[in-house]
Amino acid sequence: MTKQMPTELSRQQYLDLYYYMRLNRAVEDTMVKLFRQNKIVGGLYSSLGQEAISVGTCYALEKKDWIAPMIRNIGALLVKGVPPRDIFMQHMAKYDSPTKGRDGTSHFGDLENLHIVSPISMLGDLIPVMTGVAIGARYLGQKVVTMTWIGDGGSSTGVFHEGLNFAATQKAPFVLILENNLWAYSTPVRRQVPIENLADRAKAYGIDSYIVDGNNVVAVYNTAREAVERARAGEGPFLIEAKTFRRLGHAQHDPAEYVPKEMRVHWEARDPVALYEKFLTAEKLLDAAGKKEIDDKLDTLLAAEREFAENSPMPPAEFAQGGVYCAGDECHKIRAKWERPIAEVTPPRSSVKAVWTVPGFGSGKGSGGANAPIHFGDTKTVVENPANNGRPAKAGAKLATKNAPKKTKAATASISRKGRR
Amino acid sequence: MAGANGAPNNGSATGGKEITFLEAIRQAMFEEMERDPTVLLMGEDVGVYGGAFKTSEGLLERFGWERVIDTPISESAIIGAACGMSYLGLRPICEMQFIDFIVCAFNQITNFVAKGHYLWNAPAPIVIRGPSGGGVHGGPFHSANPEMYFVHTPGLKVIYPSTPYDAKGLLKAAVRDNNPVLFFEHKFLYRRIKGEVPAEDYTVPIGKAAVRREGRHLTILSYAAMMHTSLEAADALAKEGIEAEVIDLRTLLPLDEETILNSVKKTNKCLVVHEDTKTGGIAGEIAALLCEKAFGDLDGPVLRMTSLDTPVPYAPTLEEYFLPNAKKVFSAAKELARY
């Protein structure tokens, strides 16, 4: 671990990352208390130990960018600007919550201001949805990047494949964060996916991927930043595998006794907040007084937010009815924001010859069409490692969070080094 | 009306000319894309090839690669992406190459798209359309009538037209609607049914049934291809002195209860005819509706003439036995008229 500080981040950015990780954890700690007081209506999921991923990835986005957080991405919501009270009220099914009690947990969004798409419980569906936001935004001329998250478990769904493949054929400005927390409910990742690095799946879609230590917020941020900027430049989509560990059970009801004790101990020693605090202290970015200031700020903020949430009423029963359809234009206020001349996509300028033109094949440029990445089918026989039964040498590599396989674009676990490939 | 590349000229309305059911659909998409640059088309083979049934012929030529998108064979991705696009103010149309394949995207439609407005105020103005129905020997996976999976899903609208005029006007209305709309196109009608459409822009309101034939002895409710079968049966019934009122439901969700109830209050008898299988078909829903709201007006049982409760069989002899036809509708109506 060197003491050299990456140059990309300003002091303020370092402290922002810290603040959001602390806020993420404090919001979830508060919800655990609410849960134990029976004030949370349904289940409570935890991102304990995974805060660096939600925070580091979302912090790499710009305000205009779009996210679709999953259940363990409270941190991403907070970075995007969602007030903690909204998250509390969602869990408590309160009438002032974003969904007014019609849905719970982190299942809410904001199309107009924060650009957040709500998740559903079925895993993977957000991948094509955020691909659609990405290619739709490109169509309108907006330089927007979209991002969503999925777990190791969710990466086995059919729609993961459909979505990422479609994104790749469209070269969508989309970044998919795969949080490999090693457990899908009670089933270990090895029982679900027969490969070492889930990032390897990117190869099947012809897209670039990264592997990053998910407990190192600086590495996560730097990796995400690079992927986001490359996606914005038209090089997307990207898959980032963040290696981490789910410290608690699937949800509050689950004591996760199926997790080996040694594994828990191993990862508890790598707490992302503690690691980062150590780094910030060593780099003299944070001292006891600074930490106290943040402690106090969080205490005050969350006490007020919690009070607001607790005082909000439950929805009136009859609110169950209605609102299924958008009637008229009042409920559909979104108007396409064109950032390119409409003449480009309307006749006569939009008109083309409807044939697959040979010269453009293989260039993979733009949104497909005549330049779609198609080839004649000439194929060279490739055996990556005949000694290894035809399997790529990488497949046998040992999982190592500190030193990810060199062949992949890996960020290092060392918190003071830039997470670049 | 062939233009360059053998494509129909520009798809604009033909001024009271007779056009096919298929051409009506093509024109609706063409005109909506011409009218509004936020309208796009996505689907398998919709671009260069012009669609498996040629419903999108000429669209790529006119509107280009970004607005007519050939996708991988990934129904969930098509519908998910369309939903994402709609969040930006776009109005994508998704083609399912055969409507049978819509169930590959069942989760995306019923859980993601349909629930968005109720849960988090996210209307998804997308249209999902494709060729449906049997009678063309397509076999069990190219003949489906899966409308009721979706009629059972709050948040969706479901349209199933029977005439070129309605197909064009309802598809245009669907594109302009702020909700996800499923638009079923009975492929038996594509090239067999012709009808006039006006030269000027028009829409047909979603959720309104149409009285196709007035009568006083009994009401036949139907839609799509069975609409034509029901009319054929009604002609035969008339020869025996039974005047059937034939109503084209056109939209299955929301159902036009008013038109249904008004007719049954007049005729006091009701037969529902559909090509969908019997159990869980819309006929059962209508029977329940009539029991709830017109029980005192009924002079006989609400009868159902539907396909058999089996998959759609392949062999012509089997499929013919499976499907309702004018003769079967005639017999059921005669039986009902006796009450």
- Segment B162-187 mean pLDDT: 98
| C-alpha dist (Å) from residue B20 to A141, B46, B123, B137, B227 | 37, 19, 33, 21, 16
Helices and strands in chain B: count of H runs, count of E runs: 12, 14
Q: What band does A382 get if pLDDT is binned at 50, 70 and 90?
A: low
Chain B residues within 8 A of A367 when measuring between CB atoms: 65-66, 69
Residue A67 has pLDDT above 50, yes or no: yes
Whole-angstrom distance between the N-terminal and C-terminal Cα of chain B?
A: 52
Residue B6 has pLDDT above 50, yes or no: no
Residue-range domains of chain A with CATH: 11-315 (3.40.50.970)
pLDDT band at A109 (very low <50, low <70, confident <90, very high): very high
A263-285 mean pLDDT: 97
The correct answer on CATH 2.30.130.10 for the domain covering B4-196 is no
Q: Is the pLDDT of residue A36 over 80?
A: yes
Q: Considering chain B, what is the average pLDDT of its residues?
A: 95
| Residue B4 touches chain A, beta carbons under 8 Å | no
At residue A215, the pLDDT reads 97
Shortest Cα–Cα distance, B132 to chain A (Å): 24
Mean pLDDT confidence for A188-207: 95
- Confidence at A357, pLDDT banded by 50, 70, 90: low
CB–CB of A332 and B123 under 8 A?
yes
Beta carbons of B85 and A132 less than 8 Å apart? yes
Is B122–A133 a contact, with Cβ atoms under 8 angstroms apart?
no
CA dist A215 to A12, A77, A231, A415, B202, Å? 20, 18, 24, 9, 59
Name the band, by pLDDT with cuts 50, 70 and 90, for residue A329. Answer: confident
Beta bridge partners of B43: B70, B95
Fold agreement (B4-196, B210-337): yes
Of the pLDDT bands very low, low, confident and very high (cuts 50, 70, 90), residue A328 is: confident
Here the ipTM equals 0.94
State mean pLDDT over A88-112.
Answer: 97
CB contact under 8 A, B61 and A354: yes
Q: Does residue B108 belong to the interface with chain A, where contact is any CB pair within 8 Å? A: yes
CB A198 within 8 A of CB A209: no
Nearest to A131 among B70, B81, B123 (CB): B81
Cis amide linkage into residue B92, ω under 30° from 0:
no
Q: Does B70 contact A at CB distance below 8 Å?
A: yes
So what CATH class is B210-337? alpha beta
Phi, psi of B185 (to 5 degrees): -115, 110
pLDDT above 70: residue A344: yes
B218 with B336: CB under 8 angstroms? yes
Q: Whole-angstrom Cα distance, residue A315 to residue A101?
A: 6
Cβ distance A354 to B122 less than 8 Å, yes or no, reads no
Q: Of all residues in chain A, what percent are helix, strand and coil, respectively (each to 5)?
A: 40, 10, 50
Q: What is the largest CA-CA distance in chain B?
A: 61
Reduce the DSSP state of residue A337 to 3 states and report it. Answer: coil
Task: Give residue-wise pLDDT tens across range B277-296.
Answer: 999 999 999 999 999 999 99
B9 has a chain A CB within 8 A of its CB = no
Q: How high is the pLDDT of residue B9?
A: 42
Q: Among residues of chain A, what percentage have pLDDT more than 70?
A: 83
Cα angle A162-B46-A201, degrees, rounded to a multiple of 5: 20
Long-range contact set of residues B293-297: C-beta below 8 Å, sequence gap at least 24: B293/B257, B293/B261, B294/B261, B294/B264, B294/B265, B297/B264, B297/B265, B297/B268
Q: Distance between CA atoms of B167 and B184, rounded to whole angstroms?
A: 9
Distance CA A154, CA B315 (A): 41
Q: Is A44 helix (H, G, I), strand (E, B) or coil?
A: coil
Query: pTM of the entire structure?
Result: 0.91
Q: Is the pLDDT of residue B171 over 50?
A: yes
Instruction: Average the pLDDT over each of A30-39, A325-334, B259-268, B318-327 and give the range with the smallest value.
Output: A325-334
Mean pLDDT throughout A215-235? 97
Domain locations in chain B? 4-196, 210-337
Measured between CA atoms, the residue of chain B closest to residue A101 is B119
Residue A392 clears pLDDT 50, i.e. is over it = no
To the nearest 10°, report the CA torsion of A412, A418, A420, A421: -40
Report the pLDDT value the prediction gives residue A262, as an integer from 0 to 100: 96
User: Does pLDDT of B152 surpass 50?
Assistant: yes
Contact B115, A322 (CB under 8 A): no
Which residues, 6+ apart, have CB-to-CB distance to A340 below 8 Å? A140, A141
Sequence-separated (6 or more) residues with CB below 8 Å from residue B284 = B278, B304
Q: B165: which residues sit within 8 A by CB, 6+ positions away?
A: B24, B195, B196, B197, B204
Lowest mean pLDDT among A188-202, A352-366, B110-124: A352-366
Residue in chain A lying closest to B49 (CA): A354
Mean pLDDT of chain A: 88
The Cα–Cα gap between A323 and A319 comes to 9
More confident residue, A408 or B149: B149
CA distance B49 to B56: 8
